[in-house]
Amino acid sequence: MAEQPLADVIVLFGGTGDLAQKMLFPSLYFLDADGFLAEGFGVVATARAEMTREAFVEQTRAAVAARAGEAGLDPKAWARFEKRLSYVGADGTTQAGAEQLKAAIGGAKAPMYFLAVSPSIYGRVCAALDAAGMTGPGARIVLEKPVGRDLESSKAINAEVAKAFPEESIFRIDHYLGKETVQNLLALRFANTLFEPLWNNLTIDHVQITVAETEGVGERWPYYDEYGALRDMVQNHMLQLLCLVAMEPPSDMEPDSVRNEKVKVLRSLRPVTRADVQTVSVRGQYTPGVVAGKAADGYEAERGQATNTETFVALRADIDNWRWAGVPFFLRTGKRLPERRTQIAIQFKPVPHSIFEGAAEADLVANRLVIDLQPDEDIELLLMNKAPGLSERGMRLQSLPLSLSLAKAYSGPNSRRRIAYERLILDVIQNNSTLFVRRDEVERAWEWIDGVADAWRESGMAPKPYAAGSWGPAGAFALIERSGRAWYD
């Protein structure tokens, strides 16, 4: 890791696209404003459209300003950042296009190529870069998800990319790994003595992971309809969260130490089969409803025709290893749910024996650790307390949170919430791949997801309707209640 030089230029393929404008340029600007980009670090955007540099700079300035919000752009920081920008109108899938880029990056020794384009052209872009002699040592490539639509297509893309770049120069992004609270999971688990001894099936009853969004699919349907919630969210973000909760302590933070542990978790996931798919999974699709007081269309109206794509998934995942035997992980994600919430809840088992009687015993509930990732970053440990005061019915107990609000703990002038891509881009510059997804990891995740998708197809499981603004189809409640548990809504 340390032997590689710092990247000295970033080439953004898809430079006029949504991801680049909404996330990548703002991230680069903030990194620059905070002094993380070396002098001379170049930012080259490329896309097919011909555009003058002025027009491109203006478009980018507007995008960065929109992201900066009320704080606005710092004129000095923008002036410095703007000088780094250049634009190349080229077809990056051809050698001629790559040659144009080569001229634009001049003598850069450690270019990083960020592919914010359709995965269907990853192979051709890599081949063009290779043919133009731009893939030598020092060069690195960043791939956005989805890397494939199933195991087979993922392997094909990975194989094409591998012809041009060695695995250690390939950075597969899962932007959830760039989120502060996701990294905080590592700190919570491995920088405290408190939790790790309890982090197993002797003490933990089950785990819930919820990624709920209020947004619908909207204009993104041409992409989304081909993928659905299982491939769009579970294959990557949710399985990454599951891995970070479930993995064994890595020996250090080196990329392979962490990734080896994640792969072991993925390999231990019990395959979902046709025989049990109806009991361990639920598919849903939103119909018209009301979200946050506003009428919302159903997915079919957005899509313009009937479709078999799910916009909601709930799953029971079992990890067949010593630590987690008998501890189900319940996952659910969906669009058009009542609130935006990304949350991990670790439910502990009840105390082995209650010394309390009557009301107090009835009040007794088991501890729970709730990690909120979005919209707020909070960690709460629900503990039992004696409710203050006197009661004719003896002592009363009450569950109260021991609460850590990260926003409050870290409030102050420099407390801007960073875009996940800032961390990730900086890591690529520094050639640190701990927070990136290794090839075998992405392929193991697809293997498990393919099992679910195949079982759905073989058993003819169509998505069940749910009204926009509800917590998914009734089956999602049955899925968890079958085991005597309930979602924390």
State the minimum distance, in angstroms, from the CB of residue 145 to ligand BG6.
Answer: 6
CA-wise closest residue to 21 among 50, 61, 48, 54? 61
72: left (phi over 0), alpha (psi -120 to 50) or beta: left
| Per-residue contact string for residues 160-199; x = within reach of ligand BG6 by CB under 6 A | ----------------------------------------
Residue keyed to tokens 């107090």:
360
Residue keyed to tokens 């990329």:
255
268: left (phi over 0), alpha (psi -120 to 50) or beta: alpha
State the minimum distance, in angstroms, from the CB of residue 235 to ligand BG6.
Answer: 10
On whether the CB atoms of residues 106 and 134 are closer than 8 A, the answer is no
Coil vs helix vs strand at 23: helix
Is 175 a catalytic site residue?
Answer: no
- The residue among 32 and 232 lying less far from ligand BG6, judged by its C-beta, is 232
- The residue among 190 and 223 lying less far from ligand BG6, judged by its C-beta, is 223
State the minimum distance, in angstroms, from the CB of residue 146 to ligand BG6.
Answer: 8
Binding ligand BG6 (rule: CB under 6 A), the pick from 8, 32, 205, 213 is 213
Query: Pairing between strand 329-334 and 312-317?
Result: antiparallel
Under rule CB under 6 A, how many of the chain's residues touch ligand BG6? 4
State the minimum distance, in angstroms, from the CB of residue 428 to ligand BG6.
Answer: 18
State the minimum distance, in angstroms, from the CB of residue 176 to ligand BG6.
Answer: 7
- The residue among 225 and 232 lying less far from ligand BG6, judged by its C-beta, is 232
Residues between 304 and 343 that touch ligand BG6 (CB under 6 A): 342
Joined together, the tokens standing for residue 336 give 């058009």
Residues between 373 and 402 that touch ligand BG6 (CB under 6 A): 374
Cβ neighbours for 427, distance < 8 A, ≥ 6 positions apart: 171, 433, 434, 435, 436
Coil vs helix vs strand at 46: strand
Q: How far is CA 245 from the centre of its chain?
A: 14
CA-wise closest residue to 216 among 349, 338, 336, 69? 336
- The residue among 232 and 318 lying less far from ligand BG6, judged by its C-beta, is 232
327 HSE (CA, 13 A, CB side): 26
State the minimum distance, in angstroms, from the CB of residue 256 to ligand BG6.
Answer: 25
What are the helix (H) ranges across 430-483? 439-458, 474-481
CA-wise closest residue to 170 among 448, 442, 446, 447? 442
On whether the CB atoms of residues 230 and 310 are closer than 8 A, the answer is yes
| Per-residue contact string for residues 95-134; x = within reach of ligand BG6 by CB under 6 A | ----------------------------------------
State the minimum distance, in angstroms, from the CB of residue 148 to ligand BG6.
Answer: 14
On whether the CB atoms of residues 400 and 419 are closer than 8 A, the answer is no
Told to check if 372 binds ligand BG6 by CB under 6 A, we report no
Coil vs helix vs strand at 17: coil
- Which residue is closest to ligand BG6 by CB? 232
- The residue among 232 and 377 lying less far from ligand BG6, judged by its C-beta, is 232
- The residue among 213 and 225 lying less far from ligand BG6, judged by its C-beta, is 213
Q: Annotated catalytic residue: which of 175, 206, 237, 353?
A: 237
State the minimum distance, in angstroms, from the CB of residue 322 to ligand BG6.
Answer: 32
- The residue among 60 and 214 lying less far from ligand BG6, judged by its C-beta, is 214
Strand partners, 397: 386
Please give the single-letter amino acid code of residue 163.
K
Residues between 340 and 359 that touch ligand BG6 (CB under 6 A): 342
Binding ligand BG6 (rule: CB under 6 A), the pick from 32, 232, 310, 450 is 232
- The residue among 250 and 298 lying less far from ligand BG6, judged by its C-beta, is 298
Residues forming the active site? 237
Residues engaged in binding ligand BG6 (CB under 6 A): 213, 232, 342, 374
